[in-house]
């Protein structure tokens, strides 16, 4: 069985993951994800697939699917 490793994640998703991590560290309380980050996640899902993107960015698959 194949498991997800750092080698499997494209550089674009690593950079986007960094943006999400930065937002998560600096957000206030339980604030919503900014639209700019959602737009980038939707674009990445179109290029790399929903499941791969949701897993790499730590997002809920179904929430991302609704936005795609």
Q: What is the 3-state secondary structure (H, E, C) of the chain?
A: CCCCCHHHCCHHHHHHHHHHHHHHHHCCCCCCCCHHHHHHHHHHHHHHCHHHHHHHHCCCHHHHHHHC
Task: Please tell me the pTM assigned to this model.
Answer: 0.84
pLDDT on residue 7: 59
Residue 5, pLDDT above cutoff 80: no
- Which residue, among 31, 22, 59, 24, has the nearest Cα to 44 in the 3D structure? 59
Candidates 23, 50, 48, 27; CA nearest to 36 is 23
Q: What is the pLDDT of residue 48?
A: 93
Confidence label for 6 from pLDDT (cuts 50, 70 and 90)? low
The pLDDT tens digits of the residues spanning 7-56 come to: 578 899 999 999 999 999 999 888 999 999 999 999 999 999 999 999 99
């Amino acid at each position: 069985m194949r498991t997800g490793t750092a080698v499997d994640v494209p550089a674009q998703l690593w950079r986007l993951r960094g943006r999400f991590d930065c937002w998560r560290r600096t957000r206030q309380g339980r604030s919503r994800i900014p639209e700019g980050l959602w737009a980038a996640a939707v674009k990445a899902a179109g290029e790399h697939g929903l499941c791969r993107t949701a897993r790499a960015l730590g997002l809920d698959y179904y929430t991302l699917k609704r936005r795609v």
